[in-house]
Amino acid sequence: MLFIPPVHEWIFVVLQPEIFMFLLLGFFIGILFGTIPGLTSTLAVALLLPITFGMDPLPALVTATGIYSAGIWSSSITAHVINIPGAPGGAISGYEGYQLTLKGQVMKALRIDMVGSVIGGLIGGLLIVMMIEPIAEVAVYFRSPEKFSLIILSLIIVSLLYTSNYAKGIIATTLGALIATIGFDIQEPTTRGTLGIPQLIEGIDLLVAVVGVFVIAEILLQIEKGGELKDVRDTFLDINMGGFVPRWSDFEGIRLRGFIESPIIGMITGILPGAGATMASIITYGESRRVSKEPEKYGKGSTEGIFNAEAGNNAMCPGAVVPLIIFGIPGDAVTAVMLGILLIHGLVPGPSLLANQSELVGPMLASFIITPFLMIIALIIVGPALMRLLRLNMGWIYGFISVVSIIGIYAVTFSTFQVFLTIIIGLMAWLLSREGYPRIPLIMGFILGPLFETFLRASLQLSGNNPMIFLTRPISVGLLILSVVFIYAFVFKADMSME
Amino acid sequence: MVSLAREADRLVIVANRERIFALLILVATGLFFLDILTLPPPFSTRNAGPAFHPYLIVITIASCGAWLLYHSLGHQEEMILKYSLLVRLAAFAGLSMVYSIIIFIIGFFASSILYALAVILLFNYPTINLKSAVPISVVITLLVYTLFELVFNVRLPTVI
């Protein structure tokens, strides 16, 4: 029977003032963190994580959704204007946009970016709301071996995506998994890697790892880059409000096919666990260039390239929450932190979450349909103010972030030891990051490592320690073949990594 | 493998950073391996046991570390460490740790104002503008207080 989700009810829930206020708040925070180079939506959601402890689950999830959508969209704004993306996902369209800026057409780049983002976000959001139920029905067939193979796929993608030095990507992911093994074993009454420290017996909290890796390490990296940020502030551009209203002439040369194709590709990329905005924009941009009638314009300020890359990475957001909700496997760094929000509120991801907590999951998904409209309003009304954000003193922003992160850890754990641990993990992540070991795989390994072990051991118990169980179940085999395809695509076919 | 040269505010290190870091990772993994050797065997033969997953981790990191070590041979690189930057980085880590302790002694307000002020000064180094930094530190503290204590009802430490 065809399931028609009560989308309108979910939308009405989000539009209730007490919920909508949180969406707006998240959206504003997302714009702030997405626009200012050095701040990312991941950092914003990481800061939100300890704060959500005192919030109800729905406002917390809706705030995170607002941050996520706005952060992904606004990360390309500074890329167009000053060639420095607010986050890696904005780099592809930003490259094309900056070529237009050099030709004196910065407003055109920003308008096309906005329309691409709105269309991508809207179509992606609508598709996910309509498809979530059928996907959840398929997910019921995922037992431990299938889930293990899905995690293998996810680990492979995150290990290979964020650096062209694949050994470093694999080490970063595995180090995350190693840190996650600290504490009690998942099945037997024994502890691992605690070094005799009693506070480590219960393991390292996700919150501590996330704040350490994304907040403390980022602050250390920004202290190093202090001079560069000063240069950014000095290249500030003056932009007026009327220039943000789209014109028909902006879209000449953009194929109609891209309006549908890019959001679909972006959304499907988002569903792939571990892929994220960067991969979505790379794939949609690449596909757009491949089928374009004017491929020679790419790299020289192609409006089609900007539009499709933005449509792709904004459609990715709703897609990325699917593996999170259905399997508890985050689609990217932001959804990895959103997993923490679910867990803090005692919500266990899985097909049953959708069935039993649709009053939470539904409005969260519906938020993705509403945020594209906020993008239009936000850019036209506060667009000029956004550009002025670049003038903010980074010391003030990071002063606030530092206090919030330390107090946030304290508020949740009530432990000085956990604050120390956060700083130590932050120092380690900073050092790794400086040496080219990416931080996103580190945190993804931390989250996926215990799941990997749980499903591996459960599968082996099921089969009497026979690893062939992974090769005798169709879905599991399919996922493992897909993993091999990704390895081939990354390592042998083309350099798809972020670098 | 490593050569050092001191200048006014900087330490110039000519070293094979890839190799040094790969070695550090291999040493850390070796220590982890020694720890998992002490883990008990599984309860039943159908169970993979608590050491199985850590073994997989050790094998993976050791293989990649060895690969990095092999490919790093002969790559010398100059690294310039500025003393002032090192001091600022260490100061941030140290200040954060001190903050998490003194918050229980002098309370949330005084410690947070001092910590925020210190971070602002670290970021704006070498410029020191106390006229703007002090009020902003107070504003930051009040914002955090409002957010945690008033909005989310988290009890923040007060003076003993």
A227-269 pLDDT, tens digit per residue, is 544 444 444 455 666 677 788 888 877 788 878 889 999 998 8
Residue range A283-308: mean pLDDT, rounded: 85
Nearest to A190 among B39, B103, B153 (CB): B39
- The residue type found at A17 is P
**Most confident stretch, A67-76, A348-357, A359-368:** A359-368
Judged by CB atoms closer than 8 Å, whether chains meet at A181 and B67 is answered as no
What separation in angstroms does the CA of A130 have from each of A13, A111, A190? 17, 29, 45
- The residue type found at A99 is Q
Chain B residues with beta carbon closer than 8 angstroms to that of A188 = 40, 42-43, 47, 49-50
Residue range B114-135: mean pLDDT, rounded: 87
Whether B88 has its CB under 8 Å from any CB of chain A: the answer is: yes
Whether A167 has its CB under 8 Å from any CB of chain B: the answer is: yes
Contact yes or no for A373/A365 (Cβ under 8 A): no
Q: In whole numbers, what is the pLDDT of chain A averaged over residues?
A: 83
Burial string for A21-49 (b: 16+ CB within 10 Å, else e) reads ebbbbbbbbbbbbbbbbbbbbbbbbbbbb
- Chain A, nearest residue to B99 by Cα: A406
Cross-strand partners of B13: B4, B79
The answer, yes or no, to whether residue A499 has pLDDT greater than 50, is: no
The answer, yes or no, to whether residue B117 has pLDDT greater than 60, is: yes
pLDDT digits (tens, 9 = 90+) for B48-59: 788 899 999 999
What separation in angstroms does the CA of A407 have from each of A422, A496, B115, B134? 12, 39, 11, 20
Cross-strand partners of B11: B6, B81
Work out the pLDDT band at B93, boundaries 50, 70, 90: very high
pLDDT of residue A498: 45
Work out the pLDDT band at B7, boundaries 50, 70, 90: low
pLDDT of residue B71: 85
Residue of A238, A321, A436 whose CA lies nearest to A67: A321
The answer, yes or no, to whether residue A329 has pLDDT greater than 70, is: yes
Residue of B53, B62, B24, B48 whose CA lies nearest to A178: B53
Residue range A482-497: mean pLDDT, rounded: 76
pLDDT of residue A232: 45
pLDDT digits (tens, 9 = 90+) for A29-74: 888 887 776 667 777 888 787 777 778 889 999 998 999 898 888 8
- Supply the DSSP symbol for B40: P
Task: For chain A, positions 422-441, list CB contacts with chain B under 8 A.
Answer: 423, 426-427, 435
B147: Cβ contacts below 8 Å, ≥ 6 apart: A51, A404
Residue range B83-107: mean pLDDT, rounded: 89
What whole-number distance in Å separates Cα of residue B136 and Cα of residue B114? 11
pLDDT of residue A121: 92
Residue of A245, A212, A232, A224 whose CA lies nearest to A388: A232
Work out the pLDDT band at A1, boundaries 50, 70, 90: very low
- Chain B, nearest residue to A453 by Cα: B53
Work out the pLDDT band at B2, boundaries 50, 70, 90: low
- Chain A, nearest residue to B116 by Cα: A399
Output helix, strand, coil percentages for chain B, rounded to the nearest 5. Answer: 65, 10, 25
Residue range B122-149: mean pLDDT, rounded: 87
Chain A residues with beta carbon closer than 8 angstroms to that of B131 = none
The pTM of this model reads 0.82
pLDDT of residue A163: 81
Residue of A22, A109, A32, A122 whose CA lies nearest to A74: A32
